[in-house]
Amino acid sequence: MQKGGMLNSSIAKVLADLGHTDTIVIGDCGLPVPAGVQKIDLALKPGTPSFLEVVEEVAKNMVIEKVEIAAEMEGRNPAVYGAMKQLFTEEQWIIDADHEAFKEATKHAKCIIRTGEITPFANVILHSNVFF
C-alpha cells in the first residue's frame, strides 16, 4: 500500500501512465463521456465528491502544463471559476470558445473522472507535462 498520495487505484494508474501532452478530464455528473474514453466514476450523491475536491487532489499528483475550460464557466459558475483561478497560474489557462468545443476536445482524453458536482460547467481538461 502507498504511504499517501492518490489512493484511488484507477486514477493513480492513469496518472502514472500519462506522457507529455496527454489529457485527462474532470467533470460534473452531467458531462457526457465519449465512446472509447475510459470513465472513472466517483459520483456518490449530488455534490459528493465535489469537482473542486477532485481537481485539487489530482493537481497534487500530476504535473500540469495547461488547464482547459469552456468559456461559459466564468459567467455561469463564478465560484468554481474563481477557485480554479486560485489553483492554477495565468500561463496555464486555455479557454475554449464554448462548451461544444470543450466536449469535442474530451474525445481525445485518456479518461474522464466523473464527480458528484451538480453546478453548471464544472469541467476541466488537464494537459500533462513532464517533471524535468
Give residue-wise pLDDT tens across range 13-31.
999 999 999 999 999 999 9
As annotated, the active-site residues are 20
41 annotated ligand-binding residue: no
Please check the confidence at residue 95 and state whether its pLDDT lies above 80.
Answer: yes
Over residues 76-85, the pLDDT tens digits come to: 999 999 999 9
0.85 surpassed by pTM: yes
| Amino acid at the residue 99 | H
61 is in an annotated binding site: no
Closest CA to 69 of 39, 99, 41: 99
Q: What CA–CA distance (Å, rounded) separates 122 from 120? A: 6
Q: What is the dihedral of CA 121, 124, 32, 97, to 10 degrees?
A: 70
Tell whether 122 is in a known binding site: yes
**132, amino acid identity:** F
Indicate the domain borders of the chain.
13-128
Domain 13-128 superfamily per CATH: RbsD-like domain (3.40.1650.10)
